[in-house]
Structure 1
């Protein structure tokens, strides 16, 4: 599963909107580009920040991404 697909699943799972995870180095346009597939994968620091903003551990995010 791609990061963008896992991100969309995590947003649904947590009941969050894109706007809920924006901040710091993560802009709304960055999230939109990830979810639309215009950006394939985030850098490791940005991936960690996104997962943190979702309120998940990296392990939870990985597990969720593997369950779909």
Structure 2
């Protein structure tokens, strides 16, 4: 899978390999994950937050190319 973050207006790409994990959560660095490989990928997503705060904040897709 490919994890794409928007950092200071630039896309920062990292590859998540089978068995690897990654942590996201900076409110000023939105991100999305894609699977461009030939096999299906599964991701387990968990949230740790404070009651009443949103787990996800939708962004305008124009930020990403």
Tell me whether the two structures share a fold, i.e. TM-score over 0.5. no
Query: TM-score band, normalised by the shorter chain?
Result: under 0.3
Q: Which has the larger radius of gyration?
A: 2
Structure with bigger helix share is 1
Structure with bigger strand share is 2
Q: TM-score, normalised by structure 1?
A: 0.23
- Comparing both chains, which one has the higher relative contact order based on Cα–Cα distances under 8 Å and sequence gaps of 6 or more? 1
Q: TM-score, normalised by structure 2?
A: 0.23
